Structure 1
């Protein structure tokens, strides 16, 4: 299926790994120019750029740009640079995020909460505020934000992350009601237990705690902590990226204000 995004410019935050880099690959294969962004410039971001460049088709180009989304000035500076150098964006896939502080609720401090809020909620707010004007100027836009199964099926040790991801879905829905007449569409995806650096770190913790291999840790975790995943495995980043790429496209012109679960059945309720 052709996505009709040749020549469009896309920003992918959290673009140096996981779902971000796999989505970037889909977009450049469709001829879109992609700007990979992550918190820091350096080896990982440069290697991601080189990896995505191998997938380019139809004249697509790849760029790399660092910005700390917990710093509003850094986001504003990045937006200004993108507008000056690329004429603004048409697509934003906001993939950047972090698990943040995780512990018993009564042990979590205000600082723990704010650390997660700064990245997982205010990061989304800052990115939307910085790049919606560019979409308005270009008279076409798609913004996809990453939420989580945690928004529907919260886990007791991750209350800040749970709350932030629920808020991201609400934010996206709010924005979808504000700019649809300008042909700017906002949607969320809610992955569950996908192989990313964040879940890799979780599995390393489990492996250390249980003194088992990473493979054994993952099998134990799926069986005991995520028993509703019908696929009985972690998801692959490219399985999520395929849906994101579709939501970025002209073909998704009647999908707005939606949240799409890509979770292997992880959320127990049919209506979550």
Structure 2
């Protein structure tokens, strides 16, 4: 299928690994020019080197999405390299503070919300003028199943991601008449460095191999994931790129779950 994004320009945050990296790969394959960003330039450069065949259409600039000055500098670099963007995919995020509510202090809440909610707010505010130019734009936020099905041992993350869904819905009402469509994608338990770290910790706590830790996590913590496996990041990226495309020209204000059925309600 021709997704109609050849010649478009995209910025992907969290683009050095996981869902962000695979989204960048698919956008490049569809003919877009792509800028990837994350905090570490060396990691970005290594990630960019694994994205072959971009023909000069790939750029990598480091920035911390919690830092407005760094985002302004990123915007300057993007303008100089590729001009204005048409597509923004906000994929950067962290697991954040974990534990039961009474175990998490203010710093745990603040640091999680800074990255997982205020980060997307700041990135969007910085690049919104680009997306409102030209009568065509796409903005996709990576949320989570946790936004609508919160878990008691990671409430800061759940609350931040619920905020992302509200942000996406609100923005979708503000700018659709200008041609900017805003949507969210909510994965569940995807095979990324974030869940690798979670499962390594679980493996050590239980004293079992990692694969056994994953299997027990699925049985005990995610019983409605009917495919009984972690999702692959490209399975999420496929949906993200669809929402970035002309094929999604009547999709606005939606939240697409890519979760193997993990969310138990309709």
Deviations 1:30-65 (A, max 9, x none): 1101111011111x211210112x153xx5611101
1:132 Cα offset (Å): 1.0
2:194 and 2:238 mapped to 1: Cα distance?
20
Query: Please, which of 59, 62, 76 is the counterpart of residue 63 of structure 1?
Result: 59
Query: 1:31-180 maps to which residues of 2 (within 5 A)?
Result: 31-42=31-42, 44-52=43-51, 54-56=52-54, 61-180=57-176
Q: Does 1:228 align with 2:224?
A: yes
1:152 and 1:221 mapped to 2: Cα distance?
19
Q: Structure 2, unaligned stretches of length 5 or more?
A: none
SS of the residue aligned with 2:127? Answer: helix
Any conservation in 1 of the 2:61–2:77 contact (CA below 8 Å)? no
SS of the residue aligned with 1:143? Answer: strand
1:8 maps to what in 2?
8
1:79 Cα offset (Å): 1.4
1:92 and 1:71 mapped to 2: Cα distance?
18
SS of the residue aligned with 2:140? Answer: strand
1:165 and 1:68 mapped to 2: Cα distance?
19
Query: Please, which of 232, 239, 244 is the counterpart of residue 243 of structure 1?
Result: 239
2:53 and 2:159 mapped to 1: Cα distance?
36
1:27 maps to what in 2?
27
1:60 and 1:22 mapped to 2: Cα distance?
18
1:108 and 1:88 mapped to 2: Cα distance?
41
TM-score, scaled relative to structure 1? 0.95
Matched residue pairs, number? 266
RMSD: 1.1
1:257 maps to what in 2?
253
1:112 and 1:55 mapped to 2: Cα distance?
41
1:250 Cα offset (Å): 1.1
Deviations 1:83-135 (A, max 9, x none): 23211100011000001001110121111110001000000000110111011
2:133 and 2:242 mapped to 1: Cα distance?
23
Any conservation in 2 of the 1:40–1:66 contact (CA below 8 Å)? yes
1:246 and 1:102 mapped to 2: Cα distance?
32
1:55 and 1:122 mapped to 2: Cα distance?
34
SS of the residue aligned with 2:77? Answer: helix
1:143 and 1:105 mapped to 2: Cα distance?
32
1:139 Cα offset (Å): 2.8
Deviations 1:141-165 (A, max 9, x none): 1010010000111100111000000
> After TM superposition, which residue ranges in structure 1, 4 or more long, deviate above 4 angstroms?
none
SS of the residue aligned with 2:139? Answer: strand
Q: Structure 1, unaligned stretches of length 5 or more?
A: none
